[in-house]
């Protein structure tokens, strides 16, 4: 057994069923599990004691939607100032060049940003599999997650409906449905861990109603439920998607999912902006990944978070892909979720505590986890420590409000995942981020240069 004692924490915010908050408390950890939270735990021989004086402890943030490969495609000038559909069309040309190497470095960059900003568990929605490239891209992501030390839900994304079949993506980045389902089953068998405190799980994630067939949605649903894994897709993100679904299927996006049996506690959707009151009721029990920054940059709209929460829909917070929000900063996403909620709901909006709860316990519930997202005995030791002694927090009289509304940095003091310290004083302990950033940028530059050269040759 290996014991760690987090000593003299200024405030421990648990998000347990009683919303317990401990002042001047300690957390005792055995290997990867919290065994006690209280004042005055005395260290004994063999304990590793970590001084947490003046720090605030929260459960690690849980990121419920991401596209890690997109960290290599930030600031592409050709797709700035565009809404979702034109943005996607412009980026598919770049994404068709991604390789396993690119996926590895994109994942490492995204994981690094997430861990340094307080995220201990993330999913990823990878759906781009170029026809002329290796298909082991999910395997590469899982290896990267294991190396850096983040809890990871990899979703086997897919696109089967290319432009020749009336879909949005070019045919060079879609796959046939038999190959998709075979690889989905392979990944579940090889990597999905159903055990408590699992560091890796698999879900199935057809990309969107405008990039997969109705048949693939049904087959993915059946396979997921046969194997006991979750389902995920984009939904109700834009008016363009709504028009596409009405024209192709004769119904709005939520009703399409309902007709296909894609509703329930084993399903979560990204975005969910353009919905009405009846559709919110349909979603009760399902999960939503709210993506504030991406929705703002692509001008998609504002997710009706308060209405969803009040209707019994599970809601978590997400960074989405870094080609639309330009970062993987989970702490900043919490702030923007709070501000967007107040922009929509005014004084009836969620308060700072409630938004932090969405980012932690809420995200865990969206991903179907009851072993993370809360600080209490028997839960995983996924703990983030925040230092609010910077001048940017001076004069703030409630640290929980300060966490959400104040500050000019989003780098945490410490991130612990499964009982292991992976960020200390804002720096990764598991990889060399400077070297990783350099290599990732080289890989990204090569891909972008290649596509721009091909584009220029087409012009001339």
- Output Rg (C-alpha) for the chain, integer angstroms: 21
Query: Over the stretch 157-209, which tens digit does the pLDDT of each residue have?
Result: 999 999 999 999 999 999 999 999 999 999 999 999 999 999 999 999 999 99
Buried b / exposed e along 48-74 (16+ C-beta atoms within 10 A): eebebeebbbbbbbbbbbbbbbbbbbe
Cα–Cα distances in angstroms (integers) from residue 128 to residues 92, 297, 420, 443, 444, in the given order: 9, 22, 32, 17, 16
CA angle 92, 110, 254 (to 5 degrees): 60
Contact indicator for 102, 65 with CB cutoff of 8 Å: no
- DSSP notation for 307-337: HHHHTT-EEEE----HHHHS---HHHHHHHH
Contact indicator for 284, 352 with CB cutoff of 8 Å: no
**Residue 107: both structure tokens together:** 């994942």
Supply the pLDDT for residue 457.
86
Average pLDDT over residues 448-455: 95
Candidates 62, 135, 127; CA nearest to 314 is: 62
Supply the pLDDT for residue 459.
61
Instruction: Indicate the SS3 state at residue 433.
Output: helix
Instruction: Specify the residue for token string 């990899």.
Output: 154
**Residue 286: both structure tokens together:** 């399902």
Residues 6 or more apart whose Cβ sits within 8 Å of residue 162: 169, 170, 171, 173, 174
Contact indicator for 36, 5 with CB cutoff of 8 Å: no
How many Å apart are CA 19 and CA 38, to the nearest integer? 15
Supply the pLDDT for residue 1.
74
Query: Over the stretch 208-252, which tens digit does the pLDDT of each residue have?
Result: 999 999 999 999 999 999 999 999 999 999 999 999 999 999 999
Query: Over the stretch 122-165, which tens digit does the pLDDT of each residue have?
Result: 999 999 999 999 999 999 999 999 999 999 999 999 999 999 99
Query: Over the stretch 317-345, which tens digit does the pLDDT of each residue have?
Result: 999 999 999 999 999 999 999 999 999 99
Q: Tell me whether residue 354 is exposed, middle or buried, using C-beta atoms within 10 angstroms of its C-beta: 0 to 12, 13 to 18, 19 or more.
A: middle
Three-class secondary structure assignment of 231-252? EEEEECCCHHHHHHHHHHHCCC
H helical segments located in 124-235: 137-148, 177-191, 214-227
Candidates 230, 190, 238, 189; CA nearest to 210 is: 238
Average pLDDT over residues 387-397: 96
How far, in whole angstroms, is CA 354 from its chain's centroid? 18
Cα–Cα distances in angstroms (integers) from residue 327 to residues 75, 179, 190, in the given order: 10, 32, 30
pLDDT cut 70: percent of the chain above it: 100
- Is the model's pLDDT at 22 over the cut of 60? yes
Instruction: Specify the residue for token string 């310290």.
Output: 421
Supply the pLDDT for residue 458.
77
Q: How far apart are the first and last CA of the chain?
A: 67
Instruction: Specify the residue for token string 């894994």.
Output: 229
Contact indicator for 313, 287 with CB cutoff of 8 Å: yes
Contact indicator for 119, 62 with CB cutoff of 8 Å: yes
Cα dihedral 112/116/117/118 (nearest 10): 110
The pair phi, psi for residue 70, each rounded to 5°, is: -70, -10
How far, in whole angstroms, is CA 282 from its chain's centroid? 24
- Is the model's pLDDT at 460 over the cut of 90? no
Residues 6 or more apart whose Cβ sits within 8 Å of residue 79: 86, 87, 90, 91, 323
How many Å apart are CA 56 and CA 48, to the nearest integer? 19
Widest Cα–Cα separation across the chain: 74
How far, in whole angstroms, is CA 197 from its chain's centroid? 18
Query: Over the stretch 259-293, which tens digit does the pLDDT of each residue have?
Result: 999 999 999 999 999 999 999 999 999 999 999 99
Predicted confidence band at 372 (pLDDT cuts at 50, 70, 90)? very high
């Amino acid at each position: 057994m290996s014991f760690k004692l987090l000593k003299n924490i200024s405030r421990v915010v648990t998000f347990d069923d009683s919303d317990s908050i401990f002042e001047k408390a300690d957390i005792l950890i055995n290997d990867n599990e919290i065994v006690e939270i209280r004042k005055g735990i005395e260290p004994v021989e063999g304990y590793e004691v970590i001084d947490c004086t003046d720090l605030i402890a929260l459960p690690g943030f849980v990121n419920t939607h991401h596209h890690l490969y997109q960290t290599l495609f930030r600031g592409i000038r050709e797709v700035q100032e565009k809404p979702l559909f034109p943005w996607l069309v412009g980026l598919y040309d770049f994404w068709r060049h991604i390789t396993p190497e690119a996926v590895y470095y994109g994942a490492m960059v995204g994981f690094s940003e997430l861990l340094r900003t307080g995220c201990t568990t993330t999913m990823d929605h990878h759906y781009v599999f170029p026809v002329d490239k290796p298909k082991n891209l999910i395997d590469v992501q899982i290896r990267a997650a294991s190396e850096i030390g983040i809890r990871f839900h990899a979703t086997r994304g897919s696109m089967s409906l290319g432009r020749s079949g009336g879909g949005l993506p070019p045919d060079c980045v879609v796959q046939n449905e038999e190959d998709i389902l075979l690889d989905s089953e392979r990944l579940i068998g090889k990597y999905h861990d159903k055990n408590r405190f699992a560091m890796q799980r698999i879900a199935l994630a057809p990309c969107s109603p405008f990039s997969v067939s109705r048949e693939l949605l049904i087959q993915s649903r059946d396979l997921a439920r046969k194997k006991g894994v979750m389902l995920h897709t984009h939904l109700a993100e834009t008016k363009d998607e709504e028009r596409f679904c009405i024209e192709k299927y004769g119904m709005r996006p939520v009703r399409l999912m309902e007709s296909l049996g894609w509703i329930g506690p084993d399903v979560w959707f990204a975005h969910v902006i353009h919905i009405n009151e009846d559709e919110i009721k349909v979603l009760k029990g399902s999960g939503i990944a709210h993506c504030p920054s991406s929705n703002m940059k692509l001008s998609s709209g504002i997710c009706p978070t308060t209405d969803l929460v009040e209707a019994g829909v599970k809601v978590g917070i997400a960074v989405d892909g870094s080609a639309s929000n330009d970062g993987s900063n989970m702490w900043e996403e919490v702030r923007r979720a709070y501000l967007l909620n107040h922009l929509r709901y005014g004084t009836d909006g969620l308060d700072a505590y409630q938004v932090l709860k969405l980012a932690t316990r809420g995200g865990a519930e969206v991903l179907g986890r009851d072993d993370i997202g809360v600080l209490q005995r028997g839960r995983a030791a996924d703990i983030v420590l925040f230092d609010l002694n910077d001048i940017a927090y001076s004069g703030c009289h409630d640290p929980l409000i300060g966490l959400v509304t104040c500050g000019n940095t989003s780098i945490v003091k410490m991130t612990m995942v499964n009982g292991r310290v992976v960020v200390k004083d804002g720096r990764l302990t598991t990889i060399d981020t400077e070297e990783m950033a350099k290599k990732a940028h080289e890989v990204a530059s090569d891909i972008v240069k290649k596509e721009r050269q091909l584009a220029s040759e087409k012009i001339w």
